[in-house]
């Protein structure tokens, strides 16, 4: 249009394309939030996340002067056909010392099942100091029909654990991985099983 409107600092097409690019960029940013969140959680222990792979090169000299009360919590995710508990309710540990605890799970079905345990530590400020050298949660666990398994976790509570923390709760939630490995409609809608 040949008139004396405001001199366009940028053509309509260029501005439209830039705004479109901004929208596409923000769509990408939404996905970028996923790795950002993971890194954030790893650094801060936010969400009670503990290490997902075995820790190596850690000194295991127990600090006998300090005692931490460690409590275990076990949960089975909805409708999952498992019996799952810890061998002990809890234990007393010294920071820096190497310990081992056992968790016991039973497949209550007559089918071959694969499970995944997901750990979490409370208070979350302690998560970064709870270091697992070996854990049944590092990989999927296979179960034969009716099989009972005793599964170990070996860990060190770092001696740098802040002074004000004297109790740590270690929680495991047991998931049936059928939903992840088998995309059958039945499992995709667990809510339907109730109807």
Partner 1 sequence: MSGAITDAHADHIEHDDHGPTKGWRRWLYATNHKDIGTMYLLLSLVMFFVGGSMALIIRSELFTPGLQFVDPAFFNQMTTMHALIMVFGAVMPAFVGLANWMIPLMIGAPDMALPRMNNWSFWILPVAFGILASTLFMPGGAPASGWTMYPPLVLQTGDAFPFLIFSVHLMGLSSIMGAINVIVTIINMRAPDMSLLKMPMFVWTWLITAYLLIAVMPVLAGAVTMLLTDQFFGTSFFLAAGGGDPVMFQHIFWFFGHPEVYIMILPAFGVVSEIIPTFSRKPLFGHDSMVYAASSIAFLSFIVWAHHMFTVGMPLTGQMFFMFATMLIAVPTGVKVFNWMATMWRGSMTFETPMLFSLGFLFLFTIGGFSGLMLAIAPADIQYHDSYFVVAHFHYVLVPGSIFALMAAVYYWMPKWTGHFYNESLGKLHFWLSTIFVNVTFFPMHFLGLAGMPRRIPDYSTQFTDFNSIASVGAIGFGLSQLLFVYVVYQCARKKGEVASQAVWDNPRGLEWTVPSPAPYHTFATPPKISSDAAFS
Q: What sign has the CA pseudo-torsion 44, 45, 47, 51?
A: positive
The answer to whether residues 95 and 168 touch, using CB atoms and an 8 Å cutoff, is no
CB of 107 to partner 1, least distance (A): 16
DSSP assignments along 20-88, one per residue: HHHHHHHHHHHHHHHHHHHHHHHHH-GGG---SS---S------TT--EEEEEEEEE-TT--EEEEESS
Out of 151, 175, 184, 186, name the contact with partner 1 by CB under 8 A: 175
User: Is beta strand 167-176 parallel, antiparallel or unpaired with respect to 68-76?
Assistant: parallel
d(CA 81, CA 92): 31
44 binds partner 1 (CB under 8 A): yes
d(CA 8, CA 43): 47
d(CA 96, CA 121): 17
15 binds partner 1 (CB under 8 A): yes
Stretch that binds partner 1, among 10-18, 61-69, 81-89, 90-98 (CB under 8 A): 10-18
3 binds partner 1 (CB under 8 A): yes
58 binds partner 1 (CB under 8 A): no
54 binds partner 1 (CB under 8 A): no
CB of 29 to partner 1, least distance (A): 7
CB of 63 to partner 1, least distance (A): 25
118 binds partner 1 (CB under 8 A): yes
CB of 137 to partner 1, least distance (A): 11
d(CA 152, CA 120): 16
Residues contributing to the site for partner 1 (CB under 8 A): 1, 3-6, 8-12, 15-16, 19-20, 22-31, 33-34, 37, 41, 44, 46-49, 52, 77, 116, 118, 122, 124-125, 173, 175-177, 179-180, 183, 188-192
């Amino acid at each position: 249009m040949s008139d004396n409107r405001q001199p366009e600092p940028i053509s309509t097409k260029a501005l439209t394309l830039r705004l479109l690019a901004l929208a596409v960029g923000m769509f990408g940013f939404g996905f970028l939030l996923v790795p950002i969140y993971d890194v954030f959680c790893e650094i801060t222990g936010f969400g009670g996340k503990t290490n997902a792979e075995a820790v190596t090169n850690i000194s295991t000299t127990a600090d006998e002067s300090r005692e931490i009360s460690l409590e275990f919590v076990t949960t089975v995710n909805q409708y999952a056909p498992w019996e799952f508990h810890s061998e002990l309710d809890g234990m007393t540990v010294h920071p820096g010392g190497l310990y081992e605890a056992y968790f016991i799970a039973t497949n209550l079905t007559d089918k071959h099942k694969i499970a995944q345990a997901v750990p979490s530590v409370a208070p979350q400020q302690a998560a970064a100091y709870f270091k697992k050298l070996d854990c049944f949660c590092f990989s999927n666990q296979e179960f034969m029909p009716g099989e009972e398994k005793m599964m170990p976790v070996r860990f060190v509570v770092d001696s740098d654990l802040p002074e004000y923390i004297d109790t740590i709760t270690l929680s495991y939630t047991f998931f049936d991985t059928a939903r992840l490995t088998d995309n059958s409609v039945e499992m995709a809608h667990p809510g339907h099983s109730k109807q």
